[in-house]
Structure 1
Amino acid sequence: MGFLFRTSDSTFYAAPRFVTHIDDPAIAELTKYYSKVLPQSETPGVSIVDMCSSWVLTEYIVQGLNVNPKLPFEDNSFQVITNVVRVDYLTKPLVVFKEMNRILKPRALIVMRFSL
């Protein structure tokens, strides 16, 4: 028999969780793929947002998307959005996807990766 815990994400993430959610070979393959499809970070005017990212980034915004899926960005703000193995944590994924679409510039790139 399983237990259902009804706590907020903020309670769950109150203590930092310094983990990676995919193994080293998957990280290596994803890095190789990104190097092919994403613009170089030095490209002027390029803005990339990594949705539901982990602790390895240098800049971040903390927001409980399950409580407030409205993204704190202007319309048409980003050329690229990435989301790696995190969709399954969203309770309102379609609302978040609509928000992702809202903040993407026309002809932008979105990269979604899933694990099995």
Structure 2
Amino acid sequence: MSALLCSHPLNRTMDSEPIPSFPREAFRRQDETPDAQFYHFPRFVTHIDEGAIAAVTQLYRDYLPAGGVLLDLMSSWVSHLPAEIAYSRVVGLGMNEQELRANPRLADYVVQDLNQNPQLPFESAAFDGTMICVSIDYLTKPVEVLR
């Protein structure tokens, strides 16, 4: 359903470790149409129901540091962050600029197709926490992105 990555000192040593090899078919999708075509028009929808949103919000409440700088990967018009918690800065990375611009929690955003370019455009250790909600299964290079 969702993935949450929290910054941890051990993660900083992963750059030197080899990326595991997976067969090319491991990350094939049923629809291999370029993502840019699908995300050309904004889709102001939630992809999960109220119960799932509440669970994701609680997960964020429990694990993301209040006052921290956060990265919302594969972001959209909503981030599901707890309304009562203030964060220093939230940066979104997603595919549709209109959706990102409409997200009230984002201070900044980057439009990028992680399937075309899995390298994040941020310095190492720039964030106190990172989250991906209901979109990790769309990545064709998830290992590279998560590294």
SS for the counterpart of 1:66 is coil
The answer for the alignment partner of 1:39 in structure 2 is 65
Q: 1:26 to 1:5 in 2, by over 3 A?
A: closer
The answer for the alignment partner of 1:19 in structure 2 is 45
2:35 to 3, 6, 9: 9
SS for the counterpart of 2:130 is strand
Are positions 1:52 and 2:78 aligned together?
A: no
Count of residues in correspondence between the two structures? 91
- Which residue identity does 2:135 align to in structure 1? R
Q: Which consecutive unaligned segments of at least 5 residues does structure 2 have?
A: 1-29, 79-102
Q: Which consecutive unaligned segments of at least 5 residues does structure 1 have?
A: 99-116
Higher RCO (C-alpha under 8 Å, 6+ residues apart): 2
Contact 1:69 1:92 in 2 (8 A): yes
Q: Quick one: percent identity of the two aligned structures?
A: 48
- Considering only aligned residues, what root-mean-square deviation do their CA atoms show, in Å? 1.6
**TM-superposition CA deviations, 1:2-22 (whole Å, max 9, x none):** xx7553211111111111111
The answer for the alignment partner of 2:117 in structure 1 is 68
| TM-score between the two structures when normalised by the length of structure 1 | 0.70
Q: 1:24 to 1:68 in 2, by over 3 A?
A: same
| 4+ residue runs over 6 A deviation | none
Structure 1 position 93, deviation (Å): 0.6
Q: 1:61 to 1:75 in 2, by over 3 A?
A: same
SS for the counterpart of 1:60 is strand
| TM-score between the two structures when normalised by the length of structure 2 | 0.56
Which moved further from structure 2: 88-97 or 25-34? 25-34
1:85 to 134, 141, 147: 134
